[in-house]
Amino acid sequence: MKNYKGKNKKQWNNRKRRSSNKKKKVKVDCIAIDKQGKGVAKINEDNVSVPYLIEGEKAVVEVSKKRNYMTGKVKNIEKKSEDREVPKCPHYYQCGGCQLQHMKYEAQAKFKEKTVKGLLGKYGKINEVITMDEPYDYRNKIHSTFSAGKKGKVISGIYEQYSHKVVPIDRCIIQDPRADNIIATVRKLMESFKFKPFDEDSGRGFMRHILIKTGNTSGEIMVVLVVASKMFPSRKNFIKALLKKHPEITTIVMNINNRRTSAVLGNNERVLYGKGYIEDTLCGCVFQISPKSFYQVNPIQTEKLYSKAIEMAKLDKRDIVLDAYCGIGTIALILSSNVKKVIGVELNNDAVKDAIRNSKRNNIKNAHFYQGDAGDFMVQMAERKEPVDTVFMDPPRSGSDEKFLSSIVKLSPKKVIYISCNPVTQERDLKYLTKHGYNVKEIQPVDMFPHTYHVETVVSMVRKGK
């Protein structure tokens, strides 16, 4: 046997790597769909993940082995599911922003309900998922990245899945179409004003991203131009030209991000036109939305979600409610008319300022907002023996940590309403809470993001003995 050294050894390792990654075509049956909406096919003893394949389908799949796992790519579907349909978006198979457009919407809902049952079914009956009547054009927050295309043409879109290559998109069927029109105009203006898209590798260029937020009820539109330098050449003429084409825009903000990072927004902002924020009405309350404010991206389904969560809480006019992770105060202010007092806690100081402004804007006197760690806040309340009847919690996708959950147990509210955008981490947290004094009473899935695998869930819990 040869002794491979130096370059020869490298060639040998490359040859082995190529052979291990060798692709082959296999006929498969799709036996399930995983939590990310990908088909699952069994090849020999291995479960192979195959995007865009539906349970019950037969297909020819190109299989690649990468280190310790295998992936599949559909080459031909020999037996199609009745749940399959042609995606309405021409960018679907390249973009990656949606994962379920190849499934009829009714089938998407069943898939999400089944996913929730698989994770949370052991805690009780799962209600039928709340769906959208019109599952398109729902996103009120739109982010697009600028890049240089062929022959210097400016393109905009989102990064291709697993890469930093921008997929040019003129129309996204799940976001507000007004935003697509504005982005198209900005691209044309960039070319006429000779503004170069920012290049992450070289650090050169001016325009990085555009962020657009739209008010579903108010109709207001905010445009955030994310640029690499505080020097904005021909700024007044650029803004004038944009407003002439789109007089519906109510405010324009310049956000300066000169960092070599994938973060979209920088720390410095300058209002170029209008108030620097928009307002929108949700469940009867008016909210001020700034460039960095967190506000649910699907207002139609958010009203259904929050209304259901408040209904599940069975609130009383004598109740004191704590809204942990309160953000800009949406849940706290919406439920305030149903209770004696509501307390909101949020770590982000800017969000707390927004919440206080929103409470004044709606003339709500019984809502109080504090900046700080919600877990520490609850422990301090428990030590002072301050009563809380119900805790609402809406954590990020990572869920809550044990410190936070133990603080709920210490505070010991009669009811906990847990809103989650990730039933996987919610299941983990429910395991802790049910072991420490709480019973699950109701589980409600809500389809907040049609055509994606994401599903929101609301779980109501009561303290044992209540």
pLDDT in tens, the chain (466 residues): 444 444 454 554 555 455 445 678 999 999 999 999 999 998 888 889 999 999 999 999 999 877 677 789 999 999 999 999 999 999 999 888 999 999 999 999 999 999 999 999 999 999 999 999 999 999 999 999 999 988 889 999 988 877 778 989 999 999 999 999 999 999 999 999 999 999 888 889 999 999 999 999 999 999 999 999 999 999 999 999 999 999 999 999 999 998 877 789 998 999 999 999 999 999 999 999 999 988 999 999 999 999 999 999 999 999 999 999 999 999 999 999 999 999 999 999 989 999 999 999 999 999 999 999 999 999 999 999 999 999 999 998 899 999 999 999 999 999 999 999 999 999 999 999 999 999 999 999 999 999 999 999 999 999 987 6
Q: What is the DSSP string of 363-419?
A: T--SEEEEES-HHHHHHHHHHTT---SEEEE---TT---HHHHHHHHHH--SEEEEE
CA–CA dist 173, 187 (Å, integer): 19
Instruction: Write a three-state SS string for 217-271.
Output: CCCCEEEEEEECCCCCCCHHHHHHHHHHHCCCCCEEEEEECCCCCCCCCCCEEEE
Single pTM value for the model: 0.90
Is 285 marked active-site? no
Backbone angles phi, psi at 146, to 5 degrees: -95, 145
Is 3.40.50.300 the CATH number for 112-133+298-463? Answer: no
Q: Where are the domains of the chain?
A: 21-84, 112-133+298-463, 141-282
Residue 195 region, left (φ>0) first, then alpha (ψ -120 to 50), else beta? Answer: beta
Topology adopted by domain 141-282: OB fold (Dihydrolipoamide Acetyltransferase, E2P) (2.40.50)
Contact 366, 341 (CB under 8 A): yes
Q: Do the domains 141-282 and 21-84 match in fold? A: yes
How much is the pLDDT for 13?
Answer: 52
CA–CA dist 142, 283 (Å, integer): 22
CA–CA dist 354, 351 (Å, integer): 5
Q: Which of 98, 172, 283, 421 is catalytic?
A: 421
Is 2.40.50.140 the CATH number for 21-84? Answer: yes
How much is the pLDDT for 40?
Answer: 95
